[in-house]
Amino acid sequence: MDTLFLTLGAPFYRHDGRLFIEAQTASGLKAWHQHFDRLIACSICKTGLPPKGWVDAEQEGVVLPEFELIELPDGYRLPVFLKTRGQVRRVLLDALRRADYRLFAIGGWIGDWGVVGARLASENGLSHGIWFDRVESQVFATSHDGSLKGRLKARVKSAITARTERQLLEQADLALLHGQTVFDQFARRTRNAQIVEDIHLEASDRIPAAELAGKLDSADRDELRICYVGRADRMKGGVLWVEVLGRLAEAGDRFEAEWAGDGPLLVEMRDLAGRLGVADRILFHGFVADRERVFGILRRAHVLLFCHMTDESPRNLIESLFAATPLIGFRDTYAQGLVAEQGAGLLVERGDVAALAEALSGLNADRAKLRDLIEKAGRSGLHLTRSQVFAHRAKIVRDNLGTHREAA
């Protein structure tokens, strides 16, 4: 019986005697379990009613003996981290020694138990891999309120996180890097970099043929329908997203837009939409927990407009292709690779709001081209299903990790 150890990014919640985990976490754990007999997974655990999108672990079947969930204190609260790190190290080391394969999701900031666990594995000669799905140091660099104090604080946090990233990459036996953009940033810094994908959809989740036909018809006659699904924060370029739509309206283009997702910039985005005169054209849904409703938003749209400002490999781009919705946004190697497969989108340089508005305006005027992009999006990413990407990832883990390092 082989056991895989994981640290997770999304927290657990303990409420009314029951343990809740993020729905996507549950999906991922079940996908891993198709390739490993047993999983040990740990994350910080908060007390209280969980947010929307969290599910009861027992009801989902994520329970012993196949799944061992370890609840850890919230290390991101510095006093808690300092008080509990010795105890947590002992808990982690016991779990690491009981596992055959070890993977750590890395945030990088002080109090991240994934960082503690990876260092612990290295200190004890236990082979291990680390997982990055974005460049966290860049995220910290952009996470500020614009004030001098905020920018300085962000710069310090970014520098500390970048140093941690470098150290962990040098020590790890394996680095799983999600998407081409993250791979390009980190691959040269580690001795065993492997590019992987992360998706929680299957072929059955693709837009049905009849719905695609209706979407293609609507692309000929309806107002241009624009959407985005994700958090309203600076790394996602929420303010720039609204600015693009403001320019589009100023050029005389007719459109309707939807943003599904909550976050710290949502109020600022709504205010800006009002000032630019496009508030009546944008529907801000806030957080949407229902998966089918999210699919509906993506499938209804003619384009996904994205303004990502940091190097990451966001899953919503693949989810958009499953909905036959072309990708219109800022260029990076991850988005470029998805678009290049079939030509399912238009990309401009990061930060070029004017060029992005011009690209949308061009599609609004050329509906034959819009239809072509929708058709190409529907043919894209056929190899990117949960079953395929987790099977690929599991093979990499088995081929590259074991209980002890050869030198141990």
**pLDDT profile of the chain (408 residues), mean per 10:** 93 96 94 96 96 92 96 94 96 97 90 94 95 79 73 82 90 91 88 89 92 96 96 92 97 96 94 97 92 93 95 88 97 92 96 97 96 96 88 94 56
Q: Which domain holds residue 347?
A: 203-378
Asked if the structure places residue 405 within a domain, the reply is: no
**pTM (2 decimals)?**
0.81
- Asked whether residue 87 falls in the same domain as residue 117, the answer is yes
Task: Give the chain's radius of gyration (CA, Å).
Answer: 22
- CA distances to 12, 136, 375 from 72, rounded to whole Å, are 9, 22, 47
- Asked whether residue 43 falls in the same domain as residue 169, the answer is yes
Whether residue 331 contacts residue 369, with contact meaning beta carbons closer than 8 Å, is answered with no
- Asked whether residue 160 falls in the same domain as residue 54, the answer is yes
Asked if the structure places residue 67 within a domain, the reply is: yes
- Asked whether residue 194 falls in the same domain as residue 274, the answer is no
Asked if the structure places residue 408 within a domain, the reply is: no
Asked if the structure places residue 406 within a domain, the reply is: no
Q: In this structure, what token pair is assigned to residue 2?
A: 């082989």
Asked if the structure places residue 330 within a domain, the reply is: yes
**Per-residue pLDDT, 404:** 55
Cβ atoms < 10 Å from Cβ of 93: 16
- Asked whether residue 335 falls in the same domain as residue 360, the answer is yes
Backbone φ and ψ for 345, nearest 5 degrees, come out as 165, 180
**Per-residue pLDDT, 407:** 38
- Asked whether residue 184 falls in the same domain as residue 172, the answer is yes
- Asked whether residue 263 falls in the same domain as residue 171, the answer is no
- Asked whether residue 191 falls in the same domain as residue 316, the answer is no
Q: Mind listing the pLDDT tens digit for each residue in 258-306?
A: 999 999 999 999 999 999 999 999 999 998 888 889 999 999 999 999 9
**Which CATH number characterizes residue 275's domain?**
3.40.50.2000
- Asked whether residue 211 falls in the same domain as residue 249, the answer is yes
Cβ atoms < 10 Å from Cβ of 122: 18
Asked if the structure places residue 25 within a domain, the reply is: yes
**Per-residue pLDDT, 101:** 97
- Asked whether residue 67 falls in the same domain as residue 110, the answer is yes
**Per-residue pLDDT, 403:** 61
- Asked whether residue 127 falls in the same domain as residue 19, the answer is yes
Residue with tokens 């293609």: 216
- Asked whether residue 165 falls in the same domain as residue 186, the answer is yes
Asked if the structure places residue 262 within a domain, the reply is: yes
Domains contained in the chain, number: 2
